[in-house]
Amino acid sequence: MLKPCVVFDLDGTLADTSGDLLKAANACFNGLGLGNVLHAPADSGIALRGGRAMLTAGFQRVGWQDMTEVDRQYPALLQAYATDIASLTVFYPGALAAVATLREAGYAVSICTNKPEVLAVQLMEALGAIDAFDALVGADTLPVRKPDPAPLWAAVDRAGGDRSRVCLIGDTVTDRRTAANANVPSVLVTFGPSGGDMAALAPAAMLENFADLPEVVAQLIG
């Protein structure tokens, strides 16, 4: 029997991964003799938009002219990140407890992230939480990524979820657009670096505390 399904974004939604991401980007900048260009907490929001966003912002900050360097440095960033992926990463308070509560209440729970799948799996294993979810879909699991709705549906199907009862928990305009493209309700968290911008995206609900999530989900998809 298919279950109602709650799909979570990873970076900036379930966990604050910004510290390890910034560290990986700065490894690239240091390799070019630029030093540490990005810093927490001011640049945490940039970090949660992904590797290329960090490289682009860093090069712009130092006046680097050749932006093709972003593509050249991106594999090095991924390697640096994979080498030390979880030393600074923490789940947001109550995140895993809320996931467990949803599962116990009969929901399927899965992750749909624009982080490469192998890195997302590596991170969740390093944090001891891979078994807390029924499925995980990454940026390269399919030929397309969010905001295309296909990864969301894959995360639902692989978790044994019911496509008619789905909601997406996220923290960015990409998550909001993914939910809209799939015609499912979105819940955007307000405790990440971009939390103050969530209201303008008009999600179905906003979440200030993970303790409130099970009730919010029940109201949205039963």
Cβ–Cβ < 8 Å for 49, 25: no
Q: What's the rounded Cα separation, in Å, for the pair 174 and 159?
A: 22
Say whether 9 is catalytic: yes
Give the residue among 84, 89, 79, 86 at the shortest CA–CA distance from 40: 89
Catalytic residue of the set 9, 11, 134, 175 = 9
> How far, in Å, CA of 204 to CA of 186, rounded?
5
CB 13 within 8 A of CB 192: yes
**Measured between alpha carbons, how far is 9 from 194 in angstroms, rounded to an integer?**
14
What is the spatial order of strands in the sheet that 3-8 belongs to?
135-137, 108-112, 3-8, 161-170, 186-189, 205-207
- Closest to 111 in 3D by CA, of 94, 96, 101: 96
CB 196 within 8 A of CB 190: yes
Catalytic residues: 9
